Amino acid sequence: MQDKDIDKAIRILNKELEIFEETTVEKIASESRSPFKVLISTLISARTKDEVTYRASRNLYQRADTPEKILELSEKEIADLIYPAGFYKTKAKNILLCCQRLIEVYNSEVPADMEEMVTLAGVGRKTANLVMTLGFALPGICVDTHVHRICNRWGYIQTKTPEKTEWALREKLPKKYWIPINSILVSYGQKVCKPISPHCSTCKLANFCEKNDVDKSR
């Protein structure tokens, strides 16, 4: 994909995505308007299907929806509430540590700052960027496996890791696409541009895509 093609590609994807549902974290963001809930749901979502993340998040928030209320729960209680999210025991521990630090250092508020946010337990740049974009509507590029894979598959960038993909996109992706790029490519990656055997025959971006590392497609 050439740099000049990105505007047309995003327009095509936006039209295609009208038939797809929002991701779970987008739903949480639109329903709650709460950076805290976006943060906790993003922690729960790692290596977890969207429907499980949504159910686990709702279960937790019905019992506790503030840092103070979550600290009233035990690690086991949190783990039970978010089960069967992947690595639910580790996530329960990180949720408790996050809430403790939010109370002690940030007056129970999620800091709207990348460098501060990544000091929270379990929070890396991907999570922090998602909270910045969906929780605070501030510029950021959340790079998960879908964004990393698809941008490299297109040939729009050439990077080896998601972190390098973030910095490469910050250099060349028009800023108007920074916030929506994650939602667009996560949905498209789940439905069409899959990790293995993507649906290239029905992909509306086939003419733009270099199909890097695609050995087999449908």
Which residues have a catalytic role annotated?
Answer: 126, 144
Residue with tokens 């928030």, as numbered in its chain: 61
Q: Which amino acid is at 65?
A: D
Among residues 5, 45, 22, which one has the least CA distance to residue 187? 22
Extract the tokens encoding 140.
């950021």
Where do the H-state alpha helices sit in the chain? 6-16, 24-32, 35-45, 50-63, 67-71, 75-82, 88-106, 114-117, 125-130, 145-154, 162-172, 181-191
Extract the tokens encoding 25.
């974290």
Contact 112, 35 (CB under 8 A): yes
Write the CB contacts of 185 (distance below 8 Å, at least 6 apart in sequence). Answer: 13, 146, 147, 150, 151, 193
Among residues 154, 147, 107, which one has the least CA distance to residue 129? 147
